[in-house]
Amino acid sequence: MNPINSIAEIRSLFPVLNEQVNGKQLVYLDNAATTQKPISVIDALQSYYLHDNANIHRSAHTLASRATEQFESTRELLQTFINAKESAECIFTKGVTESINLVAASYGKLVLKAGDEVLLTEMEHHSNLVPWQRICAETGAVLKFIPIQTDGSIDLEAALAIINPKVKIVSVVWVSNALGTINPIATIIEAAHAIGAKVMIDAAQAASHFKIDVQALDCDFMAISSHKLYGPTGLGVLYGKRELLEAMPPYQSGGEMIKEVFLTHSTYNELPYKFEAGTPNIAAVIAFKMALQFVTDIGHETIAVHEKSLYDAFLLGIQQSSFNKIKLIGTNPHKIAVQSFEVVGMHHFDVGMLLDASGIAVRTGHHCTQPLMRKFGIEGTVRASFAIYNTAQEIDYFLAALQKICDRIK
Amino acid sequence: MKTINDIQDEIIADFSLFEDDMESKLFYLMDIGKKLAPMDPAHQSPEFIIKGCMSKVWVYPIFNEGSLQFEADSNTEITKGLVALLVKIWNNRTPAEILQTDLYFITQIGMGSMIGSQRSNGFAGMIQQMKIYANAFQNHN
């Protein structure tokens, strides 16, 4: 594939960006909820159903073989993308939520006993909180939380103090979906390993913004989302170290995950199939390869530089005195191109609707992080999140629309 | 006194001034909400919250000499504008008048595209609850 040279060229790969919303050109700033999909991903989804639709790993016919080859080639590229030791350590799931549920239910149940501790942060998405609440209730383990500071960063000193030999599992979000903060996971992983705990990383918001190297990080598990990484919805990845995955009992049972089935018992398949019960979302997996290719072709460094320039332009604009009604939530500078804020004097739902009237898509609400919102003493925020296809002109237009809203508040 | 349909026609005429300017329509809706008479804070209790709304909306009915009055409020301005439209149309009407109303202004002002499907459901919830109150007072008599 030819190198992609300009943002205009990148935009041309995303047909949806030409949509008109309420008579205005769409300005899509809700990328942390889901990114748009490049045409290569959309074509791959269609092509699978047009030409290759067959179930994988089973039949001897040509279509089944074509589908299986494509399906497994995504796994191969994924291995390179996150630098896993082997592709069998990459398990396809429904999404990050299922990846975390899988680890909590399978690994959690395997190792947790009454009195053990599971350590999370106060900024977790409900997906990395509720599964651990449930397994702790079931096993008698106790949930502990790394506190966060007023700027939206975790208190690393407190984190290191709270990591003690009773902690068996640490599950931490790499990048906060609500605040954009990048957490110091390498330090946490090292400290957790020093006392023998295993570490799960929720990389839902990380993978589209910077390069992942699971071996360098030495994390034990990592959850990745396809749809936040320019790929289709309904698909995620669980990375796990082989020795852990092999020791873990299956999560769901049925087709594909078995080796031999007798009426009274069964033996289980090898990795990764042991954890891929049932017919997977084949089209999504095949198309996800195009998303990984898209990000690889542009390069994480180019993405990071462009997104930072957008974020800096937004921050510079919003700090002007005319925006004195905007209160930023999450001000730690070590973050991705995501900003939550309140418009003082107007509910975030109203702000979201007024922006939508101008064609601007942002997220409003609690961002599935209710404990975090409570910590800040708010119900929710407006969240703008930028991606590689956003432009400086869109930031200007967004700022102008916000200015108009602020001007209305007496 | 203006009829229910007089008021609906006025609302339609007002919104038509904005043509396709969605932002101005929303600002206008917010202004209508601002003009709503204040609600007695004692009436803003959980039992008077409309179910199914993303925002918090309270509607408190008062039955007086055969007709209904409504106190209403919301924690968001656009939703407050929505409930204010209904109060404007239905205040001081008999339960029978309320129950027989064809709220044709909703489609005529393009409410669906203005507030989206989620808020449309919430708006339908407000209408349903106000009709439930009307029905209850009608049966009570």
pLDDT tens per residue across span A200-227? 999 999 999 999 999 999 999 999 999 9
Q: What string of DSSP letters covers A190-247?
A: HHHHHTT-EEEEE-TTTTTTS---HHHHT-SEEEEESTTTTS-SS-EEEEE-HHHHHH
CA–CA min distance B59, chain A (Å) = 19
| pLDDT over 90 (residue B103) | yes
- Taking one residue from A and the other from B, the number of pairs with CB-CB distance under 8 angstroms is 35
- Give the pLDDT of residue B118: 82
Its ipTM equals 0.90
pLDDT tens track for A25-61: 999 999 999 999 999 999 999 999 999 999 999 888 9
- Give the pLDDT of residue B141: 64
Given an 8 Å threshold on Cβ–Cβ distance, is B30 in contact with A350? yes
| pLDDT over 60 (residue A3) | no
Identity of residue A305: V
Given an 8 Å threshold on Cβ–Cβ distance, is A353 in contact with B116? yes
Which of A347, A357, A358 comes nearest B77 by C-beta? A347
Ordered domains of chain A (ranges, CATH): 7-30+299-408 (3.90.1150.10), 43-297 (3.40.640.10)
- Give the pLDDT of residue A1: 44
Given an 8 Å threshold on Cβ–Cβ distance, is B76 in contact with A358? no
- Give the pLDDT of residue B139: 82
Query: What band does B124 get if pLDDT is binned at 50, 70 and 90?
Result: very high
Which fold would CATH assign to domain B4-140? Sufe protein. Chain: A (3.90.1010)
Strand-pair category, A338-343 with A381-385 = antiparallel
- The whole-angstrom separation of Cα B16 and Cα A254 is 59
- The whole-angstrom separation of Cα B24 and Cα B46 is 32
- Give the pLDDT of residue A172: 98
Any chain A CB within 8 A of the CB of B10?
no
| Residue pair A330/A339 in contact by the 8 Å Cβ criterion | yes
| pLDDT over 50 (residue A158) | yes
Given an 8 Å threshold on Cβ–Cβ distance, is B77 in contact with A346? yes
Average pLDDT estimate for A275-287: 97
Average pLDDT estimate for B110-129: 90
- Give the pLDDT of residue B19: 87
Average pLDDT estimate for A180-197: 97
What are the angstrom distances between the C-alpha of B20 and each of A351, B37, B121? 19, 29, 22
Average pLDDT estimate for A88-93: 98
- The whole-angstrom separation of Cα A327 and Cα A123 is 19
pLDDT tens track for B39-57: 999 999 999 999 877 889 9
- Give the pLDDT of residue B119: 85
Identity of residue B87: V
CA–CA min distance B106, chain A (Å) = 18
| Residue pair A317/A399 in contact by the 8 Å Cβ criterion | yes
| Residue pair A329/A152 in contact by the 8 Å Cβ criterion | yes
For chain A, give the number of residues. Answer: 410
The answer, as to whether pTM is greater than 0.90, is yes
Given an 8 Å threshold on Cβ–Cβ distance, is A357 in contact with B55? no
CA–CA min distance A350, chain B (Å) = 6
| Residue pair B52/B122 in contact by the 8 Å Cβ criterion | yes
Tokens 């599950």 -> residue: A171
- The whole-angstrom separation of Cα A198 and Cα A70 is 33
Cβ-based neighbour number of residue B125 at 10 Å: 16
- The whole-angstrom separation of Cα A93 and Cα A100 is 10
Substitution target from B18, B22, B57, B80 for chain A, most A beta carbons within 10 A = B22
φ, ψ at B25 (rounded to 5°): -60, -45
In the residue annotation, A368 being an active-site residue is answered as yes
- Give the pLDDT of residue B117: 84
Average pLDDT estimate for A237-247: 98
Q: Catalytic pick from A90, A136, A368, A406? A: A368
Given an 8 Å threshold on Cβ–Cβ distance, is B78 in contact with A350? yes
Given an 8 Å threshold on Cβ–Cβ distance, is A23 in contact with B23? no
- The whole-angstrom separation of Cα B75 and Cα B78 is 9
CA–CA min distance A347, chain B (Å) = 6
What mean pLDDT value characterizes chain B?
Answer: 93
Residues of chain B positioned with their CB less than 8 A from the CB of A346: 77
Identity of residue A272: P
Domain boundaries, chain B: 4-140
Q: Which of B118, B15, B119 is nearest to B74 (CA)?
A: B119
Q: Which of A134, A148, A127, A136 is nearest to A224 (CA)?
A: A127
- By CB atoms closer than 10 A (0-12, 13-18, 19+), residue A51 is exposed
Relative orientation angle of helices A282-298 and A39-47, to the nearest 10 degrees: 150
Average pLDDT estimate for B7-25: 94
- Least confident range from A2-6, A85-89, A212-216, A240-244: namely A2-6
- Give the pLDDT of residue A256: 83
Which of A23, A353, A358 comes nearest B78 by C-beta? A353
Q: Which of B88, B85, B89, B59 is nearest to B73 (CA)?
A: B59
CA–CA min distance B22, chain A (Å) = 5
Which of A347, A349, A357 comes nearest B23 by C-beta? A357
Query: What band does A271 get if pLDDT is binned at 50, 70 and 90?
Result: very high
pLDDT tens track for A102-127: 999 999 999 999 999 999 999 999 99
Percent of chain A with pLDDT over 90: 93
Across-strand partners of A93? A236
| Residue pair A270/A88 in contact by the 8 Å Cβ criterion | yes
Residues of chain A positioned with their CB less than 8 A from the CB of B118: none
Which of B22, B76, B113 comes nearest A349 by C-beta? B76
Average pLDDT estimate for A367-396: 95
- Least confident range from A363-367, B71-75, B86-90, B112-116: namely B112-116
- The whole-angstrom separation of Cα A326 and Cα A345 is 9
| pLDDT over 90 (residue A410) | no
Given an 8 Å threshold on Cβ–Cβ distance, is B22 in contact with A22? yes
What mean pLDDT value characterizes chain A?
Answer: 96
